[in-house]
Structure 1
């Protein structure tokens, strides 16, 4: 354990045992932001990469939140992230983690390779009825899963 005398003097305390970060906390240095794909009330959405231990990386969606959060907003945000981490269903986008140690705060999500369903429906008004029914069934399965949580 390395103790920095200046820190001890400023803080009046020494951290003897490390406090582990939750597994869903991601360091900003492990996120590569690439292309903007959307925006919303709370922030912009980007395609990016999440660097994994061992050098591998995976394509992800990144929600980059706008502005600085109040203490209450941050607590609510973290509670929501904690709840979302427990979801595991094929019709629900998985939360991979959050980057909160610095700004901008980022939410890292599983990337849907075909993009958002609403965009796909607007761009392709002639999707066959059978496919539309399948989309509806999949959305209902996701909602049933969430309603049981």
Structure 2
């Protein structure tokens, strides 16, 4: 099968970290996967949109056996982004993919009304964030056209 719906790139962050991004619309076994993984010196964390009500966390700990190992952190009504917005605000009630659209709409309306800070949440992305995102995408395209050459983003 011929398909160009696969892409990937590496990034060096100004603060010294590195990252990679891989996307595919044709990856077998992943019909609707949106997954983020972060690896750090003292552990890692991952979020998979197929299971939006949980985050996987692995901590190395400092010799304390209780802090070591991988655990699943269940997100629910006590989570600040979801508080007071679930149809059934009860611990252990699953959060599904479609709920994400409700939370997104709520976040937009709260931003318009100036409410995110009143709940202790950060602001949503603004025009400058969107512009920077477009600059990043442009840099990836220019790098690909240049055979993978490094492209700096302001």
Q: TM-score, with normalisation over the residues of structure 2?
A: 0.25
Higher relative contact order (CA 8 A, sep 6+): 1
TM norm structure 1 = 0.25
